[in-house]
Every structure is written in structure tokens, then in C-alpha cells.
Structure 1
């Protein structure tokens, strides 16, 4: 059986691979907030050898840094970022949660001052891992109202 690519290769840019199914559109939204003119190809529910299905996003002309990719960590904590130049992977890394998110999400607390003042939202990120239950929890604390929220409120 001949193997074919479900999504066309790009000359120069970034490929976000192994995005959990259903999270591709959330990542697309974040990318479009940063660059509304970005040329983006999105593949949803594509076959994946390891997980059965995956989403994939290709951004032409934007070479992601680890900071850029970190903004997507809540949606795709196991994703891989491939930086492409001249159709070849020149850098590959796993997405990692940053220490904080700035200006990406509104605070869920409607009384937070970040809703009425001209300031960018800011959340500190903390994570815990329960080895026994093999669970991983991410919490975000608002810099302004100091309330802590589960990452599920932002997904």
C-alpha cells in the first residue's frame, strides 16, 4: 500500500503535530489572534499511529519559538512542533507549559479588575503530577484578583 500525505508539505513555517483530536480549532484560534493574516492549513481527525486520531496545523512563513508554542500547551500538552525551512525539519521540540500566560485568556472571575482596566490578563501556571493515579493537573492563578482556576475553564 502506498503511503500518501493527508496535508501538503510547506516550504517554510511551522507544523504542530500530534495535537489531540478536537483541539486543533482552539489552537487555530490562538494563532489567528496573534496573526490574523497567517496562512494556515488544518487537518482534523487524521490517522495517527500512536493515538488513533490526531489534529495537525501547518503555519506557512512563521517559525515558532518555544514561547510561541508554549501558548498552545493547555490545548496540546503532548504536541510536537516542527520548524520547517526549504521543506526540511530544521528544529523539533515538544510543547511545554510556560511559567505564565499573558494576554491570551480573560479571567473567569467577572469581578476581576482585568475586565475593566486597560491591562493584559496575566496568569501564573502551576502543575502537579500524581504518579499513583498517573494524572496531571494544571492550575492558573490570575495576577490581578489572585484567584486560582483549573485549566479546564480555559479549554
Structure 2
């Protein structure tokens, strides 16, 4: 039996691999990948030796910003990002949860100053059990990543 690629290779762009199964949809939505012109290949629930199943996203002709990579780390902290050029991986790095995150999410606390003053949201992040907690710099309240990520 021969090995066969289940997701087509790309010439140039970014591959987000080893996304926990089921998180690929959240990443597509959060990073607004479906709203642009980029050609995207997505695989859901693909076999993974390490996890059993994984999602994968390939975005042709686009590199991710540091801000986007930090947001991605919330949903897939163990994912890898592969930079592709001429069908070859030219750079590869593993995601890590950042210590802080600025202007990515609104604070869920409606009394927070970020809702009434011209300041960007700013959160401190920390791993707590199987969840990631975001603590607002301004109101000092902590929230689960799931609560914060639901807000636009």
C-alpha cells in the first residue's frame, strides 16, 4: 500500500498542521480566512499518529502575522506552522501560548474601561488546568478563552 497525500500540496504560503480535531473551524472563523481571496485547503479529522485525529489548514500565498499566530495559539497551542516556498518547508515553528495579547478580543466585562475609552484591550494569559485564562489588564477580571473568543 502506498502513502497518498490526503490534502494537496501548496506552492507558496502557510500550513497550520496538528490542529486539535474540531478546532479548524474556529481558526477559519477567528482569522477571517474565508472572507479573503486566498486559496484555502482544509482537512478535518485526518489521521494523526500523535493524537488520533487532527485538522489541517493550508493557505496559499499568505503568511500569518504575529498577532494572528498568537490568536491561533489559543485554539491550537500545540499546532505547527510551516512556511512553504516552491513546495518545500522553508521554516517551521511550534505554537506557544503568548504571555499577553493586545487588541485581539473585547473584554467580556461590560463595565471595563475598554468599552468606553479609546484604549485597546490587553490580556495576560495563563494555562489553568485544561483551559487558558485571560486576565484583563484594566478591570483585572479573568475569563476562559471560550468566553472571550465568542465576542467580536
Question: Per the shorter chain, which TM-score range?
Answer: 0.7 to 0.9
Q: 1:88 matched to which residue of 2?
A: 88
Q: CA deviation at 1:72?
A: 0.7
* In structure 2, distance between residues paired with 1:79 and 1:151: 17
Structure 2 length normalisation: TM-score?
A: 0.84
| Equivalent pair of 2:107/2:148 in contact (CA under 8 Å) | no
| Equivalent pair of 1:13/1:85 in contact (CA under 8 Å) | yes
Q: 1:145 matched to which residue of 2?
A: 139
Q: Which moved more, 1:97-106 or 1:108-117?
A: 108-117
Q: Which runs of 5 or more structure 2 residues have no equivalent in the other structure?
A: none
Structure 1 length normalisation: TM-score?
A: 0.82
Q: 1:47 matched to which residue of 2?
A: 47
Mapping for residues 2-151 of structure 1, pairs under 5 Å: 2-32=2-32, 36-64=36-64, 68-127=68-127, 135=129, 137-151=131-145
* In structure 2, distance between residues paired with 1:38 and 1:32: 11
The runs of 4+ residues in structure 1 deviating greater than 4 Å are: none
Q: Give the superposed CA RMSD.
A: 2.2
* In structure 1, distance between residues paired with 2:65 and 2:98: 12
